[in-house]
Amino acid sequence: MSVSLDRWRLNVNGHRLPIVSGDIHYWRHPANLWPTLLERVRELGLRMICIYVPWSVHETNPGNFDFGDLEPNKNLGGFIDLAEEMGLGVLVRPGPHINAELTGFGYPARLFEDPAFLMRNASGGPVMMPIPPHTFPAISYASEAFWREVELWLDAVAPIVRERIAPHGPVLALQTDNESSFFFRTAPFDVDYHPDARSKWLGFLKDKYGDADRVTDAYALDTHLADLAMPDDFRARTPEDLPYYLDWIEFKEAMLAGSLARLRMMWEERGVRNLPFFHNFPPGTHQSPLSYTRVEQAVDFCGLDAYMHKNEYALLKRRLLFLTGQSRFPVCPEFGSGCYHAWPAVDLDDQIFTTKVAWMHGVKGINFYMIVERERWYGSPITRHGGVRKNYWNFYRQHLDVLHKIKPWQLERKVEICLLSVRDYERLENASYALNPIPPLVMEGKYQLEELCFEDPLGFSRPIQLLHAKMLRGWETALTRLGISYVIGASDLPLDRLSQYRTVVCPTFEFLNRETQKRLAAYIEAGGNLICGPEVPSADERMREFSTLDNFTSRPTHRLDCAIDTLVCNAGAGRLILVAEVPLPVADAEAVVKSIARHLHIDPVYPATPPCESSLHLGPNAEKYLFIVNPTGEPQRPEVQVSTGECLVDLESGETFYGREVVPLAMNPYTVRILEVELC
């Protein structure tokens, strides 16, 4: 491979390059200004840029494209070559979906006129995107007619990109599509009911079950599979009703990831290969139908876009911990550096705070979107004329200096625990979402999504769709209060990824995917500590009798001394700890977590007095970098526990903080300190 992934960097002939880059939209600037703009990017301290390549801008008529022959600002090859001359690597994002705050998200307008290309809602009608300054219909990635059009676009772009892949050119990685999420329409029964989606759904079911008869058996149908209607509402009453709905949500996961795999294959067929392919999820907490695990089977790594405000710390942290727990290479392919006019405004204080929070929680690469301002964007450090916005410029200059000192892409965040979000229960949560078709992504800031589910226990002892996420939140709150670091992964993480953590927490109820059960058992056998409950699963995802974990729970070793019945079951080198009730409210969860942490000898590391939080990152030469956040709107004076003789040096202000075992700090509202732990 010309460019390969090397842990959390890109490797070009042994040169390992971190992803710290900035977005610039070449076609939105006159070509004669490109050298000035790129020079400014270099002066700021970046050595990598990221570009969208918009289909709608380059297409002159179907199958014909302008790459600079007619208009100089569309000279894609010329722009990439100029970047190379100026010593800048390039991440390329040619869509076909790009958004880029373009009207129609970068698809040629002609596609919106042919229903063959368009998504359908559950009643067969159009799916419209009311995004200013123009409402347009959403494109269907199930549509085979659409894919034939995509071929024309890729045929045109591939030759330009192909010959510029490093080391022959500056192109370092390619993003397939953008923010795949059915155009943010992730409600369970909203989209996509395109006729081609139906045949793909039936094909998915046949593949999953082996043949059509097994599907009809599993669904207890007395009709042929071909007559089966696509689910358009959640009408399950019993566990046996569930596979039909859970399979639908899983199909949507597969369809999203399948589109990305198809795009990658199409690029490779056109000679764009030997470089990493990546994808970016839209801002949100990524549960079903979005799946890092599936997407990372299609591309080399998947990141998360983030445009957040300082007062959304808890939500940002959760999203970032999902990212760092699940992604192979946790990057933010779009991280707010400025704002689109139609969004809630993001200001410089938001940018400063959230950028540092991202590194604090283990992000390993950031593309600042946008580093050069342009139409429909404000608040970037470089103006579209090549000037600078002083305060913004100063922050990014200083911040990049600090990054080059600590090199977050080389640091290991010290993490004790992985909380597992269980795919089966996420699917159930999505399927039983009561506000369908309002996009859950829209509701996430206002509500905890699980609270928006129907409340029926569906024949189980408890409403799993409500309690699964609530239990995870209880654990998150308790661990945060105790100062114990964690990430959030998905239950379909491969075993080698799970095994990186000493302890895994996985809420379990009456049913659990067969493969997940086997993987958790293997994790215990390999020496891991699995904390699960309140139920030991006795059935698989098709509600067939199946259990691996009951082998462990049938031989409990002892009970922990805590308010909730907690069994410890040793098994080989590992152990299973069953918390036999739902540890809610949070105070109960905290007591249980404390007791289990004591039992497993999990101690907080450099804890800071709440509400401040800390996160320790270890360097390759045993350097210790400590991030302390004040996530509140009030000044705080936290104390940080250190070992005797240690002091803390603020890498931005240069201040040194001393103390015997406890170092007092002063923290302004919504600030993060990046500290080096030194011996004094």
Partner 1 sequence: MLAPNVLVVDTDVRHWLNLLGLMAGEQTPQPSLLLCLLDGDRCLKALHSKKGVLWGFVWPGDDRLDEALAAAEADALLALPRHALPTIFAEAQAAVTANDNYVKQLFDLVAAVVHTLDEMAFWYPAKPFTLNLPPYEKVEKIFNKIWPDDTTMGFFVFENSRPFTSLLLGKEGGQISLITTLDALGQADQSLDFRHGYQTYADWIAEKFNPLYMALFIELSCFRELRTGGKPLSYLKLAEKRQRALLWPKPWKVRWLLWLARVFKGM
Residues at the contact surface with partner 1, assessed by CB under 8 A: 103, 112-113, 121-123, 125-128, 130, 132-137, 189-190, 232-233, 341, 345, 347-348, 374-376, 378-379, 383-385, 389, 392, 434-438, 447, 451-452, 454-455
Instruction: Give the nearest distance from C-beta 130 to partner 1 in angstroms.
Output: 6
Q: What's the angle, vertex CA 447, arms to CA 441 and CA 451, rounded to 5? A: 105
Closer to partner 1 by Cβ: residue 123 or 644: 123
Q: How many angstroms separate the CA atoms of 627 and 358, rounded?
A: 11
Residues facing 492 on adjacent strands: none
- CB closer to partner 1 out of 187 and 228: 187
Residue type, 226: A
Considering the complex, state which of residue 232 and residue 639 has its C-beta at the smaller distance from partner 1. 232
> CA of 477: how far to CAs of 378, 483, 578, in Å?
36, 10, 20
Helix (H, G, I), strand (E, B) or coil at 152: helix
CB distance 56 to 107 below 8 Å: yes
Contact by Cβ (8 Å): 131, 142? no
Please state the length of the chain: 680
Residue 359: name the closest of 330, 384, 393 by CA.
330
For 418-494, where are the alpha helices, taking DSSP H only? 423-431, 440-443, 464-482
In single-letter form, the type of residue at position 134 comes to H
List, in sequence order, every residue forming a beta bridge with 51; answer none if it has no partner: 92
**At 558, phi and psi to the nearest 5?**
-165, 175
- The CA distances from residue 299 to 146, 285, 464, 649, in Å, are 21, 20, 32, 40
Q: How far is the CB of 435 from partner 1 (least distance, A)?
A: 6
- Nearest CA to 529 among 555, 552, 562? 552
State the minimum distance, in angstroms, from the CB of residue 447 to partner 1. Answer: 7
Name which of 86 and 388 has its Cβ closer to partner 1. 388
Torsion of CA 481, 484, 489, 495, to 10 degrees: -150
How far, in Å, CA of 527 to CA of 573, rounded?
A: 4
The DSSP line for 35-74 is HHHHHHHHHHT--EEEEE--HHHHEEETTEE-SSSS-GGG
> Please, which residue, 439 or 528, has the CB nearer to partner 1?
439
CA dist., res. 203 & res. 142, Å (int): 12
Q: CB of residue 469 vs partner 1: minimum separation in angstroms?
A: 13
**Number of CB atoms found within 10 A of residue 232's CB:** 15
447/658 with CB nearer partner 1:
447
Is the peptide bond between 611 and the residue preceding it cis, with omega within 30 degrees of 0? yes
Shortest Å, Cβ 421 to partner 1: 21
Name every residue whose Cβ is closer than 8 Å to that of residue 133 and which is 6 or more positions away in sequence: 103
Which of residues 213 and 455 has its CB atom nearest to partner 1 in the complex? 455
Judge contact between 362 and 316, C-beta under 8 A: no
d(CA 99, CA 156): 20
Minimum CB distance to partner 1 smaller for 72 or for 125: 125
Contact status, residue 17 vs residue 172, Cβ threshold 8 Å: yes
- Nearest approach in angstroms of CB 222 to partner 1 is 25
Q: Smallest distance from the beta carbon of 129 to partner 1, in angstroms?
A: 9
For residue 423, what are the CA distances in angstroms to 35, 367, 674? 48, 29, 35
Closest CB to partner 1 among residues 225, 388: 388
Structure tokens at 314: 């808890």
- Least distance CB 132 / partner 1 (angstroms): 6
Q: How far is the CB of 114 from partner 1 (least distance, A)?
A: 11
Nearest distance from residue 507's CB to partner 1, in Å? Answer: 19
Residue carrying the six token digits 């390969």: 4
